[in-house]
Amino acid sequence: MPEGDTVWLTARRLGVALAGQRLTHADLRVPQHATADLAGRTVTEVLARGKHLLIRIEPDLTLHTHLGMDGSWRLFPAGTAFPGPREPVRVVLATDRAVAVGRSLARVDLVPTDREDTLVGHLGPDLLGPDWDQAEAVRRLAEQPDRTIGEALLDQRNLAGIGNLYRAEVLFLRGVPPTAPVSAAGDLTRMVRLARQLLWVNREHPEQATTGDLRRGRGHWVYGRAGEPCRRCRTRIRRGELGPPGQERVTFWCPHCQPDPAGSRPG
């Protein structure tokens, strides 16, 4: 799933292409908004809120999208032929400058701008947002001391932008197993600060490296490396699932570098 840095970079690229431009064509290929007529309106700005993307359109509309697991936005030169109906395209926005195509988007909503909070108001502090509040993020995490830290970090109501990749990498770098309760996860302020640092350094490029090495196959400590040797201790990286029934998410950890005193492991 695209994480906060990917959505931030997507918003910036769309903003450069669309902001200040009049829409010559707009096609929302979702039943509830299929008849919306946005042609002739001007895009005022594009911004990210955690993993959510907000495209504001004059005078008072916001096109909200969420990439989900497989979604993406791509830009093409103006005049590029629009994708056909058989392709998994949910949004097409065209201007005299570019054509923006949203594929396999998990959510597409069109709401009055003053109702954006109905879609993103539940989110915690945005790790890459201008209103980032570290103390508030720590406070929210600490509110459920018995919850596993692995689940708490993925809860976008606590802090917005972390996904599976950064969850696994942050916990490895802090030496904390994903099953540890929040109360036993150590210094939450340092953990939250590290999470923001990792997203911040990766926000300018599509590669998501936490090791400092952008070469293929060298960018992660544990994420996606089940069965491979830990880069620090050579112990085999493990893979499991964590979360309530029906909402389990995959996680990765090193049993030596992230010891679990309780002996519990993700299923």
Angle at 59 between CA 55 and CA 62, to 5 degrees: 25
The residue annotated as part of the active site, out of 116, 249, 255, 265, is 249
Q: Does 3 qualify as catalytic in the annotation?
A: yes
* Active-site hit among 3, 90, 125, 238: 3
In the block, tokens 């195509």 appear at: 101
Question: Considering 49, 51, 140, 174, which one is annotated as catalytic?
Answer: 51
Helices (H) and strands (E) in the chain, counts: 6, 10
Which letter, b or e, does each residue of 126-159 get, where b requires 16 or more Cβ atoms within 10 Å of its Cβ?
bbbbeebebeebbebbeeeeebbbbbbbbebebb
212: left (phi over 0), alpha (psi -120 to 50) or beta: left
Give the single-character DSSP code of 83: P
Integer Cα distance of 102 and 27 in angstroms: 10
Is 2 labeled as catalytic in the residue annotation?
yes
Which entry of 2, 125, 177, 178 is annotated as an active-site residue? 2
210-246 exposure pattern, b = at least 16 Cβ within 10 A, e = fewer: beeeeeeeebbbbbebeeeebbeeeeebbbbebbeee
Residues noted as catalytic: 2-3, 51, 249
